[in-house]
Structure 1
């Protein structure tokens, strides 16, 4: 393993020295999150008509399948969802709220030299500017390789804590688990008003990344960084983000700078705001006679 790490470091430094003093690259990433868990919740539900199921699946596809653009230079990058025209009413109500928590919206700026990131978020018609330190993952470099496009990529793995405001990793709780909780008397008033009561949110997940030392930039999609080469693919089990296009030394330069609009908060503070507001929405929905259903908000 030490020999592999030394060899990669040498390749990284050699490639870096061959780069021009000023350069910029652009990568297109396709992000897909599995919806199998959520679709299974609709199976056997008599309240969900075929028409409703079709509508829900179409909106889920929009939330869980996205295209992002990463513009980068030697030390910084901006990662932003590709802008698309929405159909009338397609992004309204609760689905707009949910879409913002499925990895979309805003500009994600990373500076690997300062080890900081800035991302602007819109939540419940309010603008936030999350400014914090880049998460430092303990990457384990492997020897396994594969081709992504024209580039040879190496495998790396790490354990990553899950953000409380990122619901892509939420899994519907199995009926057996909910019945067991009820038996133990855990269905208290506080439990019932928790909008995540019907879901399991893991505290941490295993990440598999594929990076290429041929592009010696410690960058990648979303918050990922810290490897001796550009990350072209990330897989956390439910979400796969893969590079579909890569252009080096782009002619049309993009200004790579941090967004500035919004109330400045730390990541933990933003997570707490989101969770609290979602719980308030769930309580309001229940008080209006709605059925208890965790994520149902689009009324």
Structure 2
């Protein structure tokens, strides 16, 4: 009965916006992201001041603004460029793979393919692969985001994470691999059929309306503004610059480079300037 009500509500919303659906429209959606960061470190190795500094540093790393330029079947997703302070301080080094000013994510939701241009390790890569087929479960909850009526959908998956923390970090002088455990992650999306495109922030897609909010338990991305049918026609096309690799090949390259950096930054002795914490973000 719940699914019938949900589907009926969606159909009614689609009828209300039939004029919008009938035209070849475009739009720009602005999103802001933030991530819940919880880090617990050995107090005998890391001071409370350093731990607090690390918390603030990571919090700022995930406070970003993105723009999604879209039409019925394609989109371009890009982070707005900002001037950031150096990300090293007090023996803490944050290693961020990707997120450069040239990074662009192009999605074709009809063909279920994406092209991602990423500047990583001083090189530009062109990642071409298939979009993930999300097995969304339509829920019976609704809420307003701005002026738009949004419907809830959830997606559950199981991933492996370090037992000690949800973030990937390591004390470089240790050769021990972190113990991994399986964890169930529930991703919650809020989408609006009032904007009838099967799209959303990042690689998220597959719902009968634009996703205005996404939450995976630790990271939240929320739409803050939408412009439909801007006066100037928008150019939406896949990036072409960079070395072509698949998503799996790109991951291998990043993991290899990370290990190389860990070796390069490994202390040669125990009497150095204290612990060196390295945290990997993104990728």
TM-score range, shorter chain: 0.7 to 0.9
Q: What pairs up with 1:23-38 in 2 under 5 angstroms?
A: 23-36=25-38, 38=39
Contact 2:87 2:93 in 1 (8 A): no
Match among 92, 96, 99 for residue 98 of structure 1: 96
Match of 2:170 in 1: none
Unmatched 5+ residue regions in structure 2?
Answer: 166-173
Contact 2:93 2:277 in 1 (8 A): no
Match of 2:233 in 1: 253
What SS does the aligned partner of 1:286 have? coil
1:30 offset after TM fit, Å?
1.0
Match of 1:109 in 2: 106
Which deviates the most, 140-149 or 14-23?
14-23
1:271 offset after TM fit, Å?
1.2
Q: What pairs up with 1:79-94 in 2 under 5 angstroms?
A: 79-87=77-85, 89-90=86-87, 94=93
Per the alignment, do residues 15 and 129 of structure 1 end up closer, same or farther by CA in structure 2, a change over 3 Å counting? farther
Q: What pairs up with 1:125-164 in 2 under 5 angstroms?
A: 125-160=122-157
Match of 2:279 in 1: 295
Give the Cα separation in 1 of the matches to 2:152 and 2:231. 31
Match of 2:171 in 1: none
1:115 offset after TM fit, Å?
1.0
Give the Cα separation in 2 of the matches to 1:238 and 1:171. 15
Give the Cα separation in 1 of the matches to 2:27 and 2:15. 18
1:18 offset after TM fit, Å?
1.7
Give the Cα separation in 2 of the matches to 1:78 and 1:23. 15
Match of 1:22 in 2: 24
TM-score, scaled to structure 1: 0.76
Give the Cα separation in 1 of the matches to 2:29 and 2:182. 30
Contact 1:75 1:113 in 2 (8 A): yes
What SS does the aligned partner of 1:157 have? strand
Match among 119, 122, 127 for residue 116 of structure 2: 119
What SS does the aligned partner of 2:279 have? coil
What SS does the aligned partner of 2:64 have? strand
1:239 offset after TM fit, Å?
0.3
Give the Cα separation in 2 of the matches to 1:75 and 1:121. 22
Per the alignment, do residues 3 and 125 of structure 1 end up closer, same or farther by CA in structure 2, a change over 3 Å counting? same
Per the alignment, do residues 119 and 8 of structure 1 end up closer, same or farther by CA in structure 2, a change over 3 Å counting? farther
Per the alignment, do residues 289 and 135 of structure 1 end up closer, same or farther by CA in structure 2, a change over 3 Å counting? farther
Match of 1:173 in 2: 164
What SS does the aligned partner of 1:242 have? strand
What SS does the aligned partner of 1:295 have? strand
Give the Cα separation in 2 of the matches to 1:237 and 1:81. 22
CA offsets 1:244-286 (integer angstroms, 9 cap, x no match)? 1112112233311111111111111111211222122223333
Give the Cα separation in 2 of the matches to 1:295 and 1:235. 22
Unmatched 5+ residue regions in structure 1?
Answer: 163-168, 175-191
1:219 offset after TM fit, Å?
0.6
**Larger helix proportion, structure 1 or 2?**
1
1:236 offset after TM fit, Å?
0.3
1:193 offset after TM fit, Å?
4.0
